[in-house]
A and B are shown apart, each in its own frame.
Chain A
Amino acid sequence: MKILVCVKQVPSRDAILRLNETSQWIQERDIAYEVNEPDAYAVEEALRIKEKLGGEVVILSMGPERAQITIKDALAKGATRAIHICDPKLEHLDPLTQCRVMAEAIRREGFDLLFTGLQSDDNGFGQTGVILGELLGVPSATIAMAVEIQPDGKTVKVKRELESGWFQWYELPLPASITIQSGLNQPRYATLKGIMEAKKKPIQKLSAANLGFDEAALTPKQHVEKVYFPVKNKKTEIIEGSAKEAAAKLAAKLKEARALV
């Protein structure tokens, strides 16, 4: 089984975000980054399938140089090798154009299973896995909470999370594209041995030109004109003071508001 996992590096959840000079994106300097949360679960799921059925797990990441850290972490956990699409021309693409670039790299590689996270923390398109399925001509299923390769090795059963507590099983022929929801397994940590081994694992670097994308092919279909902090609609009463002072004031306010039961 050859499993390709798309892994994205995103600002860490705790990062205090600031806008950049042109207010078209955040300031990317001086903040910490981490793996996009569901992608970590996707890597774990792929590794478990590989451990059971054999084959390889190939990591695909598109992003700047710093994404190497996230790629190496996946390799340290046990992924076989990686593809890093790294080119300033490929930053801030719209969902379709981004997927066209990724699909080209994936097509050259080939796969039985393609995993993506269900949504990225930064762009939050929630579209990548589905579009990749379409562009690569394979069926897709989203928001997977379980992935079971069937004994025939030709089909996969996917437990999809639906709204309000419902789930549904779907069966798809391989190859297929599946978007992974957080929580379907417990991701492992990289071991020291894994970290050492990862140093020797190949990371293939690709640029827009390598993949045959010139400026015309990258003409944006959407444009982020401006980003800004949302204006708060509700008047939240922010309680100031030291932790102790604020706590005392809050306790009194809750009593006053008859919120204590």
Chain B
Amino acid sequence: MMSARILKALKTAALGQASQCRPSVEEGKDCAYLAIVILVAITPVRIAHAQVAEPAGYKMDGFRSQVPDGLAGAKTVTTRQAWQLWKAGGIPFIDVMPQAPKPKNLAEGAFWREKTRNNIPGSYWLANVGYGRLHPDVENWFKNRLALLTSGNKDKPVLFYCLMDCWMSWNAAKRALDYGYSNVLWYPDGSDGWRFEGYPLKASYPEIYAN
């Protein structure tokens, strides 16, 4: 009996006819079930959209946590928009996933395996430029790489990403703004959002500045 009512409520909701659920004595329970069903269904979405304030400076720690909806001065792009930009081509996609360089002083003959990551094909993976602070040498390298990728024109668009709920891309995009780039795109859902939509990914090796 109960499950039949829930099914009916679900069906009503699925058909987009929630407004037909009237608070009569007989159907009051259905409305309550429907409310619960809707609440359960949208709760994760609501959590994902809870507001996180933009910090004044760079994010210094806790990089794997929820990010703000945007970055002041930059354009935030969705997976759909990123996909269209990628298909159209011409905008450098910069992956800023961190990865340490191979240590110099390992034991002789030690077997080392450089890690790959599945990122958006054609990306420039500039590792370690999304930390809260950069070593001056890493910062110079990042500036030089950006200049090369934009042919020295700071009005050319550049897109930054890493993973979903990762501040590294936010920091890197903010850095580009601070360097004077005027057309900065931030793709917060990154390779996770890309994968979620079934878009192609490719195993890649990073560019790592080792000082």
A, B from the same assembly: no
Q: Which B residues lie at the A interface, using CB under 8 A?
A: none
Q: Which residues of A contact B (CB under 8 A)?
A: none
